[in-house]
């Protein structure tokens, strides 16, 4: 029997792990999945931030837990996966969101900063996806993986935005998403990416200050920045049975910026 749209988007009984989930876009995604009925476990490096975010989620009626871990460290990634599986059981939805950026002219970009960005933004996504898939998704032949990329992975930046490592890492995330979707489709695991545009966040604070929120908003056809709701719909689509036939895809949530920049 064909399900209703409400049934297709319902995540009741599902478990979601969200990295970088204590603030910003990650917390928004945790709200989205929890509001759709999933149990959520959020992770980031700082316990205090996680406690505050978890309290916010629980106050909204969401079954939320947390584990402090640094997704730039292989040992922490392994521990995060093990603790999540021990405490909540199988993981149905993995959101790879933890990330870093670094601003510097390409000709003077420090190698250690390049390695830091690539290690967290690409290697960390790969390692956690691999572990969760092998321990939970592949044996059950089901799973949803959502990777946070960026419109920075679609093209170059204006001269004032000197983030060569970040752009490179997010371009890698997009093709990582495609390659993984092609390999793991046989296990009924979907892998998709979200490409946010400009959202107010701790990571973008310096950019917003340097370029001005009004100027960045003016660059978008919708004439605004992203807000605390704008990623929710796509996240739940990717995570739920409403999106069960979507894999290997990316979608920009950017107010139309990528349309006018030709991405």
In the residue annotation, 125 being an active-site residue is answered as no
pTM confidence score: 0.95
Structure tokens of 77?
A: 């990634």
Q: In the chain, what are the domain boundaries? A: 5-254
Closest CA relative to residue 120, chosen from 60, 71, 186: 71
Confidence of residue 138 (pLDDT cuts 50, 70, 90): very high
pLDDT of residue 263: 58
Which tens digits make up the pLDDT trace of 109-125? Answer: 999 999 999 999 999 99
The predicted model gives 201-226 an average pLDDT of 77
Rounded Cα gap, residues 205 and 167, in angstroms: 17
User: Bridge partners of 41?
Assistant: 17, 65
Read off φ and ψ for residue 199, nearest 5 degrees: -125, 140
Half-sphere exposure of 191 (CA within 13 A, CB side): 26
Least confident range of 14-23, 81-90, 218-227, 254-263:
254-263
Rounded Cα gap, residues 147 and 67, in angstroms: 19
C-alpha separations of 109 from 122, 157, 167, 237, 242 in Å: 18, 16, 13, 38, 43
Rounded Cα gap, residues 64 and 81, in angstroms: 16
- The CATH number of 5-254 is 3.40.50.720
The predicted model gives 181-201 an average pLDDT of 95
Rounded Cα gap, residues 213 and 136, in angstroms: 42
Rounded Cα gap, residues 238 and 247, in angstroms: 8
SS (H, E, C) 193-246: EEEECCCCCCCCHHHHHHHCHHHHHHCCCCCCCCCCCCCHHHHHHHHCHHHCCC
Confidence of residue 214 (pLDDT cuts 50, 70, 90): confident
User: Bridge partners of 53?
Assistant: none
Catalytic residue (one of 125, 166, 187, 238): 166
189-196 β-sheet, strand order: 64-68, 39-44, 15-19, 93-96, 143-148, 189-196, 250-253
Q: Which comes out higher in pLDDT, residue 230 or 155?
A: 230
Rounded Cα gap, residues 121 and 178, in angstroms: 16
pLDDT of residue 206: 62
């Amino acid at each position: 029997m064909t399900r209703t749209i409400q049934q297709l988007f319902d995540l009741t009984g599902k478990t979601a792990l969200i990295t970088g989930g204590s603030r910003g876009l990650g917390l928004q995604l945790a709200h989205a999945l929890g509001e759709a009925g999933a149990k959520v476990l959020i992770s980031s490096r700082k316990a205090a931030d996680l406690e505050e975010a978890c309290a916010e989620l629980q106050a909204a009626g969401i079954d939320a837990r947390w584990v402090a871990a640094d997704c730039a460290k292989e040992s922490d990634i392994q521990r995060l996966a093990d603790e999540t599986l021990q405490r909540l059981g199988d993981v149905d939805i993995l959101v790879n969101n933890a990330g870093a950026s670094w601003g510097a002219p390409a000709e003077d970009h420090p190698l250690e900063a390049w390695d830091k960005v690539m290690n967290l933004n690409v290697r960390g996504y790969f390692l956690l996806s691999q572990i969760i898939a092998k321990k939970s998704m592949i044996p059950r032949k089901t799973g949803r993986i959502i990777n946070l990329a960026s419109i920075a992975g679609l093209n170059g930046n204006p001269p004032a935005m000197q983030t060569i490592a970040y752009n490179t890492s997010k371009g890698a995330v997009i093709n990582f998403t495609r390659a993984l979707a092609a390999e793991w489709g046989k296990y009924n695991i979907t892998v998709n990416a979200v490409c946010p545009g400009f959202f107010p966040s701790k990571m973008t604070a310096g950019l917003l200050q340097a370029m001005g929120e009004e100027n960045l908003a003016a660059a978008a056809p919708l004439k605004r920045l992203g807000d605390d709701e704008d990623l929710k719909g796509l996240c739940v689509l990717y995570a739920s049975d409403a999106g069960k036939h979507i894999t290997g895809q990316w979608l920009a949530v950017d107010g139309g910026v990528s349309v006018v920049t030709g991405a």
